[in-house]
Amino acid sequence: MNEDLRSVASDIVEKARARGADEADAYIRSGVESSVSVRMGELEKLIEAGSRSVSIRVIKDKRTAVCNTSDLTPKALDELVQTAVELAKISEPDEFAGLPDKADLASDVDIALQLYDERIESLTVEEMKDIVLRAEQAAFDFDKRINNSEGADFGAERGLVVLANSLGFAGSFPYTAASFSVQVMADDEDGKKRNDYWYSAERLIHRLSSPEEVGRRAAARAVRKIGARKVSTREVPVVWDPVTAAGLAGVVSNAASGEALFKRSTFLADREGEAIASPLLNVVSDARLPAQLGSRPFDGEGVATRRNQLVTDGVFQHFLFDSYYARRLGRKTTGSAVRSGDAISIGGGNLVLEAGATAPEEIIGSVQDGLYLTTLMGFGINVTTGDFSRGAAGIWIENGELTYPVTEINVSGNLKDMLRDIEAVGSDLTWLAGTAAPTIKMARLTVSGL
Amino acid sequence: MTDSGRMAEAFFRDRYNIDGTVAADLIGVAMSRGGDHAELYFEHRQGSNITFEQQHVKTASRTTTQGVGVRVLQGDAIGYAYSEDLSRESMRRAADTAARIASRGDKAEPVDVMHYESANFYTPEAGTLSVPASDKVDLIRRADDAARAYDASIARVDVNFIDELKHVMIVTAGGRMAGDVQPLVRFNVSCLSEREGNRQNARWGGGGRMGMSYFETHTPEMLAREAARQATVLQSAIDAPAGTFPVVLAGGDSGILLHEAIGHGLEADFNRKRTSNYTDQVGNVVASELCTVVDDGTIKDSRGSINIDDEGNLPGYNVLIEDGVLKGYIQDHMSTKHFKVEPTGNGRRQSFKHYPMPRMTNTYMLAGQSAPEDIIRSVERGIYCVAFNGGQVNISNGDFVFSVTEGYMIEGGKVTAPIRNVNLIGNGPDVLRKVTAVGSDFALSDGRWTCGKDGQSVPVGVGIPTVLISGMTVGGTAIG
């Protein structure tokens, strides 16, 4: 199937050239997914299907068109090529349009990144069901107060990514992914429901956490919210747990998008080489880490992926680029093109907020009155200005100890100050689905409540 | 009057040779191992997107997806499979895969598939896919010009013209065959205002289940000026306050609050599983008596409207809350069986790759008695919210947030300084009890919203009159 789809992709590129395209590439994704869901010990859902899609980009007279279809019959592919070439004509000339420079294309597409686990081919529904049943049961067994479940799901996927272009590039890589999650709830004394979840997601099955560990963790997270209350409005130190800290790294990565730079819609514009954060902060986007979900040998346009250091000791290093925005701004692509459907965007890679030296207990212990942040909600991030205002929940810290749970509060600040205010970075680097972060401490944030 | 159902049936028959006989055969395969119910969802979607940046068309794109989703139900369990290949062999394989959920082994009787009439709340011919791209680019350029002319500080304008035409056909184990042809257009403008190094960004846009006629009432100039106005207003924004304050929601877009605060919690799947805070609350007072909230899939040309839901039921005008009392939930097929109630026409899904769930259509609060200006005048110190960029809710307990992109202080009964982007946080049942005034100025949002649930996105509408909430937590940075 591997060689088959490589030749399908190369044929599409040939057809596009024959129809008058100056340059073309074809990106095919083909996969099989299956999932099993249980709830309250009973089978709830079985889903199984295979799918594939092809995305073609053509450039004619510096005009770009992208077309996408799930129909891979020869007739449909002919139509796809024809539509794309015609669509390019109505686009407008753009001197920056084009495929990547040939020199940037990956020459080591077969590099061993451990992205495929053969074990997933033979994984049965019964095995998947067993894992999620055990995980859900472990959550119920963890604490009597767990009284309901929103279910536990296992999902497995295997597939192939193929790319060919008119510069002679032809590459493919097989991938697998397996994940499972559990979500359970408990009631407050007054009946208010408190829920939480936990999960594990990996490319290789043997790296998944045990069902019992995930179930217990989900239950522990739900139970510790029982009796959660609001607090009064104040400015306090905030300790971000590894989950919320990983979210913060995601915000930095979005702000480092070359597209955002071109649009001047990032607070990091014009800040390359400057200290934008505490010297304790190091953020990396790395698509070449073995066995990680964000890894891939080449990006959505065939460029070799690599390790991109975004922030080193607090200094902002550089933006992430695909070939288009790199060319527009006179930079180099960083192998960060992401292809999905008819769109090419910037992102990808495993995002790591690198570990520091401080034990997480010591970080919590250093706070007299503050918030241990475990949950963020909503869309209140303005990357242009850096304004940050999001719904939050967590646990209040008093005299260096985690005390009572808090909810229905809001944390706000401006990212420019927030990144500088990072006072401690923990040693507890925690990986979750292609991102990793430790506990971090921020000197001050506004907590809104009563 | 066009019958979109018959159009969709003809489409699948002519293009893929899928008719009632083929569908009946697939239903037979789906029910071959027993099962209480099965349905087929055929879909063909064509989409187009023109991306315009820095006064140039960056990319023109087209997407075509097609496939069939097969669902088999037994008790509370779902078997689901789909195929992108609409050949008989592949579709039968998908039906057989979905059938594996059932274990009772009683083969169902063969069904006679009969046409079922869909509604007509929008016109399929209105789709914009056949409109020459140059016409769309003309509209885009008009928007670009208007935004730049609005204010000298407008340094960047990005525009997107996104449209789609979706043919769907649903066939149920009960023998019902229904279809729809769903147009959807959306026009987005993003403006950057840059003044002495201070950059502010704002987006605006709109659309609906319409074609080019949308732009007769909502010109590209209007949409662009609105984005430019919001970006410019932010230039003089002050830090928002932190703490609990009275909040006045302007009519229209603020309906996102209802969607988050109560809409999701009333989706019947959560109540069937007893995971929503509204479980067992039908008949109880859950909001101020000033509140009457409906979910209405029948609004002409609205983004959230449908002619048939994705399980083959007609959409409805469903009263969720009447004068503060909870009347009923938003249902899908599974929940109507559980609660033994009639379908509400809310079984929706993102695509053939997804199983249906109870989903909102257009959710709004009916107009009240108060004059909007009196509502503002009644507030000594508070927040006035006009535009938003999204919200999120924890269904289990009703805690929700929404992000305000255009908001102002209210001081001494007057709207004063604009505030920086701020998040509002509250608890659904709590906030709806704190509705102390409802305006007479109902407005529907202009087709901007997409609802996400369990990883599935569907277009929705929201609406609300001007409303006063006596206290809500405002997530600003200014304390005191």
Average pLDDT, rounded, for chain B: 94
- Which of A157, A382, A383 is the best mutation test for B, with the most CBs of B within 10 A? A382
pLDDT for the residue A442:
98
Is the CB of A264 inside 8 Å of chain B's CB atoms? yes
The pLDDT score that the predictor gives to residue B420 is: 92
Question: How far is residue B358's CA from residue B337's CA, in Å, rounded to a whole number?
Answer: 13
Lowest mean pLDDT among A85-99, B96-110, B294-308: B96-110
Check B77 against A51: CB less than 8 A apart: no
Predicted TM-score (pTM) of this structure = 0.94
Backbone angles phi, psi at B260, to 5 degrees: -80, -45
pLDDT in tens, chain A (450 residues): 456 899 999 999 999 999 999 999 999 999 999 999 999 999 999 999 988 999 999 999 999 999 999 888 888 899 999 999 999 987 889 999 999 999 999 999 888 999 999 999 999 999 999 999 999 999 999 999 999 999 999 999 999 999 999 999 999 999 999 999 999 999 988 888 999 999 999 999 999 999 999 999 999 999 999 999 999 999 999 999 999 999 999 999 999 999 999 999 999 999 999 999 999 999 999 999 999 999 999 999 999 999 999 999 999 999 999 999 999 999 999 999 999 878 899 998 999 999 999 999 999 999 999 999 999 999 899 999 999 999 999 999 999 999 999 999 999 999 999 999 999 999 999 999 999 999 999 999 999 999
- Which residue, among B248, B259, B245, has the nearest Cα to B372 in the 3D structure? B248
Q: Do A87 and B49 touch (CB under 8 A)?
A: no
Q: Does A75 touch chain B (CB under 8 A)?
A: no
pLDDT at A2: 56
pLDDT at B1 over 60: no
d(CA A298, CA B213): 44
List CB contacts (< 8 A) between A192 and chain B.
277, 397
- Let me know the angle formed at the C-alpha of B105 by B99 and B110, rounded to the nearest 5 degrees: 70
pLDDT of residue B224: 98
Question: Can you give the pLDDT at residue B126?
Answer: 64
pLDDT at A247: 96
Q: Which of residues 412-471 of B touch A (CB under 8 A)?
A: 420-427
Place of tokens 């007509």: B120
A-B interface: how many C-beta pairs under 8 angstroms?
259
Task: Quote the tokens at residue A144.
Answer: 């009597």
Amino acid at the residue A292: Q
Across the interface, do B63 and A342 touch by the CB < 8 Å criterion?
Answer: yes
| Interface-testing mutation among A411, A446, A447, A450, with chain B (most B C-beta atoms within 10 A) | A446
Option in A44, A80, A233 nearest B78 (CB):
A44
pLDDT attached to residue A174: 96
- φ/ψ of A303, rounded to 5, equals -75, 140
A193 at interface of B, judged by CB pairs closer than 8 A: yes
* Residue pair B188/B205 in contact by the 8 Å Cβ criterion: yes
Q: How far is CA B435 from the centre of its chain?
A: 24
Min distance B351 CA to chain A CA atoms (Å): 13
Q: With beta carbons less than 8 A apart as the criterion, state whether B295 and B362 touch.
A: yes
The residue to which tokens 């008009």 are assigned: B142
Contacts of B47 in chain A (CB under 8 A): 342
What is the DSSP pairing of strand A435-437 with strand A350-353?
Answer: parallel
The answer to whether A238 contacts chain B (CB < 8 Å) is no
Q: What is the predicted pLDDT for the residue at A1?
A: 47
pLDDT digits (tens, 9 = 90+) for B428-446: 999 999 999 999 999 999 8
Q: Which of B294, B272, B118, B150 is nearest to B221 (CA)?
A: B150
Q: Quote the DSSP letter at residue B175.
A: S
Position B111 confidence tier, pLDDT thresholds 50, 70, 90: confident
CB atoms within 10 A of CB A273: 10
To the nearest whole angstrom, how far is the Cα of A58 from the nearest Cα of chain B?
10
Beta-strand relationship, B293-296 and B317-322: antiparallel
The ipTM assigned to this model is: 0.92
Asked whether the beta carbons of B201 and B231 are under 8 A apart, the reply is: yes
A71–B66 CB contact, under 8 Å: yes
In this structure, what token pair is assigned to residue A70? 């799930």
| Edge-to-edge strand ranges of the sheet holding A435-437 | A315-316, A307-312, A283-286, A350-353, A435-437, A430-432
Which residue among B66, B81, B422 places its CB closest to the CB of A49? B81
Please give the angle made by the CA atoms of A143, A146 and A149, to the nearest 5 degrees.
135
User: What single letter denotes the amino acid at residue A167?
Assistant: L
Interface of B with A in 260-279 (CB under 8 A): 273-275, 277
Taking residues B84-108, what's their average pLDDT? 87
Q: Cα torsion for B289, B294, B299, B301, to the nearest 10°?
A: 110
Mutate to test the interface with A, among B33, B162, B256, B425 (most CBs of A within 10 A): B425
Least confident of A331-335, B110-114, B229-233, B282-286: B110-114
Three-state DSSP state, B33: coil
**Encoding tokens for residue A216?**
């217990």
Chain A partners within 8 Å of B385 (Cβ)? none
Supply the pLDDT for residue B109: 78
Q: What is the pLDDT of residue B133?
A: 86
pLDDT at A3: 60
Taking CB atoms and an 8 Å cutoff, what residues of chain A touch B280?
none
* Chain segment B210-225, per-residue pLDDT in tens: 989 999 999 999 999 9
Q: Check CB contact under 8 Å for B58 and A64.
A: yes
Among B63, B159, B253, the residue to mutate for chain A (most A Cβ within 10 A): B63
DSSP 8-state secondary structure symbol assigned to residue A427? S
- Min CA distance, B369 vs chain A (Å)? 30
DSSP secondary structure code for residue A400 in this structure: T
Contacts 24+ apart (CB under 8 A), B278-284: B278/B326, B278/B329, B278/B429, B281/B326, B282/B326, B282/B327, B282/B328, B282/B329, B283/B325, B283/B326, B284/B325, B284/B326
